[in-house]
Amino acid sequence: MLEPFRAFWTKVIAAPIARLLLRMGVSPDAVTLVGTLGLSAAALFFFPQGRFLVGVLVITLFVFSDLVDGHMARESGRVSPFGAFFDSTLDRLGDAAIFTGLALWFAWDGDSRLYLVLSLVCLVMGNVTSYARARAEALGYEAKVGIAERADRLVAILVMTGLSGLFGLPILIEIALWVLAVASTVTVAQRIWVVRRQAQAAAAS
């Protein structure tokens, strides 16, 4: 869904930055690491304090590193299995930090066990969604299906959290958590179903 926007931002922002960093001798893996550390620190520092708008703005800056490191790897010819593994693994950590930061706010100032639990559901099901696809592909199946891809989940929670901070409306975060909890769970079910059908077809052939 977000692929056209990704292509646009890669061309306009990521490509020039990637070329500059390569000339400076920076490796794609270093950009991946710094981006994840920055994103995680921002989410775990600002969100538990309820400083949602500034948190989202800082996180967004580091999210762009996910575009930059991939372009750097392709531009420099450093695309490798380890680089893909490293990038994917740190993506999971960054996603977890965002929902953990929100969970901490609901546990403290937000004072809501329901939305604390929903934040954790989004964290867990988001990671299971990614794991289901990775495990399926490792077994030779295709599982790139579902209504809640990672990019969609990330944009949804950041946009709604930022708007919540801008207008002082925590209900926007609550709506986003309900939608993402349901969508992530449905996506996991979709991937399990698709892989099951492929496995049955392979067994029957």
Q: Encoding tokens for residue 124?
A: 């867990």
Cα(53)–Cα(204) distance, rounded to whole angstroms? 53
In residues, how long is the chain? 205
Place of tokens 């592909």: 137
Cβ atoms of residues 33 and 88 within 8 Å: no
Between CA 72 and CA 53 the distance in angstroms is 29
Cα 180 from Cα 171, distance rounded (Å): 14
| Angle, CA of 30, 35 and 36, to the nearest 5° | 105
Active-site option among 91, 95, 109, 152? 91
CB-based contact 27:82 (threshold 8 Å): no
178 alpha carbon, distance to own chain's centre: 17
Q: How far is CA 68 from CA 63, 147, 172, in A?
A: 9, 26, 30
Catalytic site residue 91?
Answer: yes
Q: Which residues are catalytic?
A: 91
